[in-house]
Amino acid sequence: MRRDPVINRDSMISPNDIVLFQGDSITDCGRNREVADPNNSGALGLGYAHLIAAELLAQKPNLSIYNRGISGNRVVDLYARIKSDLINLKPNLVSILIGVNDTWHEFGTQNGVAVPKYERVYRDLLTETREALPEVRFVLCEPFVLRCGVVTEDWVAEMDQRRAVTAKLAKEFNAIFVPFQSAFDEALRIAGPLHWTCEGVHPTPAGHHVMARTWLKHVVGC
């Protein structure tokens, strides 16, 4: 029987932990892939992972924080590099944001990942990671879109299903669930979708700030 670590936000990130951010272009956000060292400004990219790392490192300077997001990744691409870009880094905490390309690539090039397969591969990714790293703590981030630019209503319906899968897996693996879609829906009361995203998918600087603030609130309570 699989034993899942108990969630305790007071000790979600310990002083000497290895923290890993994984995902697609939203996580990648222009990071320098030639630099493998943790806590490197260029290697952390220009987005929410960098903003979160800045806050965490100001509080706990002995953390080692990595960003291994890769632009264009679907869940199957992330699974394909599970050993090199996840397990081999031996993270204590891994934060995953994946799903929008699984929809976007289908509507754009008919090379997406159907929702049932998305769930199956995502579950395999989490299962194999925990088998290799029994004490690893998961943060599963809600994939999101905003109604503008490339995003159509067909996208929204499918992304609703991916969000439900992510929430389901968070419960199944005793992970913290970060509600990015809800955070952006609330932000739309302040400004329109193009203030927060470039085309409904990739966040602007303001959008990355919303993400970082939401992640920190739900993961470490700050």
Q: What is the predicted pLDDT for the residue at 1?
A: 46
> Mean pLDDT, the chain, as a whole number?
95
- The model's pTM is 0.94
**201 or 11: which carries more pLDDT confidence?**
201
Rounded percentage of the chain residues whose pLDDT exceeds 90: 91
Q: What is the pLDDT of residues 173-187, one digit of tens each?
A: 999 999 999 999 999
Q: What is the predicted pLDDT for the residue at 108?
A: 81
Alpha-carbon distance 197 to 143, whole Å?
13
Q: What is the predicted pLDDT for the residue at 77?
A: 98
- Under 8 Å between Cβ of 22 and 98: yes
110 pLDDT tier (thresholds 50, 70, 90): confident
Q: What is the predicted pLDDT for the residue at 109?
A: 86
Look up the CATH number of domain 14-219.
Answer: 3.40.50.1110
Q: What is the pLDDT of residues 65-107, one digit of tens each?
A: 999 999 999 999 999 999 999 999 999 999 999 999 999 999 8
pLDDT surpasses 70 at 18: yes
Q: Provide the b/e sequence for 144-155 (b: ≥16 CB within 10 Å).
A: bbbebeebeeeb
Q: What is the predicted pLDDT for the residue at 9?
A: 55
As beta bridge partners, residue 64 has: 18
**81 or 222: which carries more pLDDT confidence?**
81
Q: What is the predicted pLDDT for the residue at 149?
A: 95
